[in-house]
Amino acid sequence: MDYLEIVGGNKLSGSVNISGAKNAALPIIAATILSDKALTLKNLPNVVDIRTLLKLLTMLGGTVDHDKTIAKIDNSSITSTKAVYEIVSQMRASILVLGPLLARFGECEVSLPGGCAIGQRPIDLHLKALESMGAHIEIKGGYVRAEAKDGLKGAKIIFDKITVGGTENIVMAAALAHGTTSIINAAKEPEVVQLCEMIRDAGVKIEGIGTNELTIEGTCGKALEFKTIEIIPDRIEAGTYLCAGAITNSSITLQNVNHGHIRASIDKLESMGCSFDLKDNSITIYPTSNLKPVNLITIEYPGFPTDMQAQFMAVAVVSEGESLIEERLFENRFMHVSELNRLGADIWLKGSTAAIKGVEKLYGADVMATDLRASSALVLAALVAEGTTHVRRIYHLDRGYDDLEGKLSKLGANIVRKKEV
């Protein structure tokens, strides 16, 4: 098993290219099931989750030619509509094939995704919405079995709470439905916006893109023909590298970035004393040697993203004063706290709130990654810890960060990937 060895204390400098967004690429890969024509996806991040979902397409009978950041996909030859446990258990986002498989083929079986390290993320909202569209659904043998022999019907869907995956699944299902579907309380994340734009550009009429109310006129079962799609930059990767600049008191430049998508992270870093130079497709962070504490609450986009909570906690650990972080979206997303404390942090938990008292120095230690974003927080803290830190279980990192150690090394970090003996 691989681990990262990081010797802290190096200043960073230079520029880093931000990869395509994993969370945009995954629903877009799932949406290719809605087409019976070949298409090309560009700017894919070279991460495990992408390879896993592409493998699922091939297991369904599709044809995939994948070379790092480009994938040519042809789903005209799909022969199976069963997404097996072997794949879905590796990645929760596999549930995104449910909507498009059901919409195009009138039936499917998709393994239940189960739990997640950061808490339960049930799919009941997905299933309830599909039932409103006329699907018959049963859960048996660990699989969701769905049928809509005469096709899905347009419906008014009101989500009780904002769900990114649920919005994406229903947008895809509605694209081929009979009639008009309205989604109330839809997610507004940039990844949802790109999915909607992809489907709109294939000829489906969608109104309200980027708002919390979407209206979609389905094609009555007619498969779509997609244009070549370039995945948007990864806003969480971008935010992580901004935090790397802040925590190491370094000036670095991010290339291929959309500032609008990371406004919440920029605003919080500005409140901590950092400054920025924003250009068309790049952003440079100018840090402060006296980081101020930060108070933040995770909330749905355009609020502060839960996927940046752990990284900001790492930065807050070395700030001057006491920070408060409230996690409102997931019930178990503070597992990195005990590992940061192993490095010398002073963090206390009470329910869904973490109190972080800034410390003058962190010290290298062996730490263990518990989920994707917690992993990056440990790497950030290790960059400034005195001595050597070993970050173990980095398969979590490999799910969502494209060559993290390579990019940080080019910026000047002393970081090496090694294998357990």
Catalytic residues: 116
For residue 344, what is the enclosing H or E element? none
Q: Quick one: three-class SS letters along 109-169?
A: EEECCCCCCCCCCCCHHHHHHHHHCCCEEEEECCEEEEECCCCCECCEEECCCCCHHHHHH
User: CB of 54 within 8 A of CB of 28?
Assistant: no
Give the span between the Cα atoms of 78 and 71, in whole angstroms.
17
Residue 402: how many CA atoms within 13 Å on its side-chain side? Answer: 21
CA–CA gap between residue 73 and residue 54 (Å, rounded): 9
What is the C-alpha to C-alpha distance for residues 215 and 156, in angstroms, rounded to an integer? 9
Beta bridge partners of 73: 39, 64
Q: Considering only CA atoms, give the Rg of the chain.
A: 22
Burial 238-260 (b: 16+ CB within 10 A, else e): bbbbbbbbbbbbbbbbbebbbbe
**Up-side HSE of residue 1: CA atoms within 13 Å toward CB?**
11
Q: How many CB atoms lie within 10 A of CB 10?
A: 18
User: What is the spatial distance between Cα 223 and Cα 216, in angstroms, rounded to a whole number?
Assistant: 15
The secondary structure element, H or E, covering residue 332 is none
Q: Which of 348, 415, 410 is nearest to 375 (CA)?
A: 415
Q: In what order do the strands lie in the sheet with 205-207?
A: 156-158, 180-184, 213-217, 205-207
Nearest to 302 by CA among 171, 196, 162, 172: 162
